[in-house]
Amino acid sequence: MPLIRSVFQDELDSVSESLVNLTTTVSTAMSQATDAILNADLKVAEEVIANDQKIDEFQHDIDSRIIDIIARQQPVATDLRALVSALRMSADIERMGDFAHHVAKIARMRHPQGAVPAELVATIKSMGSAAVRITEKIGVVIATRDVEMALEIEGDDDEMDALHRDLIAALVDKPWNHGIEVAINLTLLGRYYERYSDHAVSVSRRVYYLVKGEYA
């Protein structure tokens, strides 16, 4: 039994490690997508778009391994909760990758023109930085099950929400001289960053639930 338990724990640890690796991949994707949108860099945008398939495949592999563990080990109680939570976290993280993909697609669509007017570059740059910072933090939360850090991510999300409000205010509160298409693209960009952050919060809440047995 101790040997069986050791093998099972190794499998659980491997799943957690894969989730952390997936957050790193997604963080890189969002960082690159932000660079692409700010610099009208078609090459980088295409790279992010192409790599989204790899993120999807990575997530599918994690899910398949989790389902296989459940089928073979028939876990109960805390172990089952950990595996089910991991399934849901992988879905959230994959969705974050989708939003990075969407940002890159706007960069590609607007090329060779830029998608972001000069007066809003700082806001989009801050949103991109906040997104990467949140993703790096959830990687640590998954690896360490640090519930205090998990709670901090709510505050990080508040920062993203404030930036999102600033972006929308710039579109509606002042004379707009950049055309409807640019306004639509910026509205979408703001939504992508904001939803990306929301999924990171979802991951942090799942870790909190996993450790505490209740939602924060």
pLDDT tens for each residue of 48-93: 999 999 999 999 999 999 999 999 888 888 899 999 999 999 999 9
- As a whole number, mean pLDDT of residues 106-133 equals 97
Asked if residue 3 has pLDDT above 70, the reply is no
> What is the domain partition of the chain in residue ranges?
2-212
Domain 2-212: what homologous superfamily?
Phosphate transport system protein phou homolog 2; domain 2 (1.20.58.220)
* Backbone conformation region of residue 67, classed left if phi is above 0, alpha if psi is from -120 to 50, else beta: alpha
Query: Which single residue is written with the structure tokens 């700082």?
Result: 122
Query: Which single residue is written with the structure tokens 């724990």?
Result: 9
Residue 162: count other Cβ atoms within 10 Å of its Cβ. 12
Buried b / exposed e along 110-139 (16+ C-beta atoms within 10 A): bbeeebbeeebeebbbbbbebbbbbbebbb
Q: What is the pTM of this model?
A: 0.94
* % of the chain residues with pLDDT over 90: 88
- As a whole number, mean pLDDT of residues 5-11 equals 83
Asked whether the beta carbons of 194 and 164 are under 8 A apart, the reply is yes
